Chain A
Amino acid sequence: MRVFPILQAAAAAIALFVAGFARAETPGDFLRSYDAAARQDAAEFTGFSAQRGEAFFKSVHGREWSCAACHTQNPLATGKHARTNKPIKPLAPAADADRFTRPDKVEKWFKRNCNDVLGRACTPLEKGDVLSYLMSLGK
């Protein structure tokens, strides 16, 4: 039968397409995974707070920089690297749909930036609070 190879090729193409996007996530997926991790960290965890996230985002934590030092007080706006002046795309998902869609990228930047701002890794609670704040913007 002639149709069969075409169907096979189509199935293979669909499989490739799906595999290619399997790593793409939504901000909500990240929030759910931080939620699960925060619950494991503390039994008394009652959910994330955008308000707490905003305060965290805008304060310094014993070092020179806050998150806002580069991302500005308004995460819907274009930021600027505090040392080099290079523009940084807005961090809020409403302003840039690519934000919080790639686990490798999100992990890379949380690792670096938490180290720069706090001198340690961020906890799932801190990540979830900040992401809740970012997701609350521009809606």
Chain B
Amino acid sequence: MKFSKRSISYALLAAGLSWTGMAMADDHFSTATDPTWKTECGSCHIAYPPRLLPASSWRALMSGLDKHFGSDASLDPQTAAGVAAFLDKNAGRDRSASRTPVLRITETRWFVHEHDEVPDRAWKNPQVKSASNCTACHVDGDSGEFNEHNIRIPKQK
């Protein structure tokens, strides 16, 4: 049997579309929420959805809040315990093979894979500034909405 170039590209396109559809169905992260988590984890950056890191990573982060990626983000013990419990309960699965917990969401294999099409110049755009700045492109990211159709990569001024 012989396939024409065109039929192969249609098949690939269909496969690509269905894969995108599956990925999109999975792109709303706001299932779990908690007012203290939202306030405390959302004051300097958006409150990153707990399922984006495994429990071991959240535990490591919560035990080093006074040195949080170069900033002091310390909390009083009572508040910290509440946030830690929420993260623990709603954390994602541990997909990494490494024993040391990944601390940055941007270093997870999932993140790297999802963003492999984003051009270098978009990351370097001063309006984006940092890969941690989800809402620079995911306009409704603050409410957990990361759908592919809700992305506006800012234009370089």
Residues of chain A at the chain B interface (Cβ within 8 Å)? 81, 83-86, 104, 108, 111-113, 115-116
Contact = CB atoms under 8 A, between A and B. Distances in A.
Given A86-B44, A86-B45, A108-B76, A116 B133 contact: no
Given A81-B45, A104-B76, A111-B74, 8 more contacts: A81-B44, A84-B45, A84-B130, A85-B136, A86-B45, A108-B76, A112-B72, A115-B72
Main SS class of interface, B: loop
A65 B43 CA distance: 18
Interface of B: 43-46, 66, 69-76, 127, 129-130, 132-133, 136
Max chain B Cβ within 10 angstroms of own Cβ: one of A104, A111, A112, A115: A112
Contacts, number: 38
A84 B72 contact: no
Contact of A83 (B66, B70, B127): B70
A116 B71 contact: yes
Main SS class of interface, A: helix
Nearest to A111: B74
Contact of B71 (A85, A104, A108, A112): A112
B102 to A, nearest CB: 19
B31 to A, nearest CB: 23
Nearest to A107: B76
A89 to B, nearest CB: 10
Contacts of A115: 66, 72
A81 B130 CA distance: 12
10 contacts: A84-B129, A84-B133, A85-B127, A86-B43, A86-B44, A111-B72, A111-B74, A112-B72, A112-B73, A113-B72
Contact of A84 (B74, B75, B76, B132): B132
Nearest to A112: B72
Max chain A Cβ within 10 angstroms of own Cβ: one of B72, B74, B130, B133: B72
B129 A85 contact: yes
- A-B pairs with lowest CB-CB distance, top 5: A115-B72, A112-B72, A84-B45, A85-B129, A85-B133
A112 B132 CA distance: 20
A86 to B, nearest CB: 6
Contact of B130 (A83, A108, A116): A83
A99 to B, nearest CB: 14
B136 to A, nearest CB: 7
A108 B75 contact: yes
Nearest to A64: B70
B74 to A, nearest CB: 6
Max chain A Cβ within 10 angstroms of own Cβ: one of B69, B71, B76, B133: B71
Nearest to B75: A108
Nearest to B134: A84
